[in-house]
């Protein structure tokens, strides 16, 4: 897995509220706080500038994503393949996401 970075390191400029300026959809993230500490997720949505929706394909599916504060995640520079994303949204089934996460991580 690539080096995990806090959000500030990924976006050098100050964060804006605009979704178009800094899209995180498709990036791989690791939880650093909460009950799910250490879990690996794929960011599936970004409803506002503070929270993102994440799923892992097994416990958290695309139909029931987890709402997570961006500050509680370490973001990887790696993202899902472009074939998983359509019109700015994840367009893959849960088994493909779970397989991608398992393949990319050393768990």
- CATH number for the domain that contains residue 75: 2.30.30.30
15 lies in a domain?
no
Partners of 66 in the beta sheet? 54
73 lies in a domain?
yes
100 lies in a domain?
yes
Number of domains in the chain: 1
Contact (CB, 8 A) for 49 and 16: yes
45 lies in a domain?
yes
97 lies in a domain?
yes
Tokens for 80, please give them: 């899902």
68 lies in a domain?
yes
Pick 24 or 88 by higher pLDDT: 24
Domain with 93 in it: 4-10+20-104
pLDDT digits (tens, 9 = 90+) for 8-49: 555 555 554 544 456 789 999 999 998 999 999 999 998 888
């Amino acid at each position: 897995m690539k080096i995990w970075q806090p959000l500030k390191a990924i976006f050098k400029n100050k964060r804006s509220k605009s979704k178009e300026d800094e899209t995180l959809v498709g990036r791989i993230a690791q939880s650093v706080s909460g009950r799910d500490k250490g879990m690996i997720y794929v960011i599936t949505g970004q409803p506002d500038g503070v929270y993102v929706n994440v799923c892992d394909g097994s416990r958290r599916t695309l139909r029931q994503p987890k709402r997570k504060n961006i500050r509680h995640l370490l973001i990887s520079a790696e993202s899902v393949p472009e074939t998983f994303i359509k019109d700015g949204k994840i367009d893959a089934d849960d088994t493909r996401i779970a397989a991608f996460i398992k393949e990319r991580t050393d768990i």
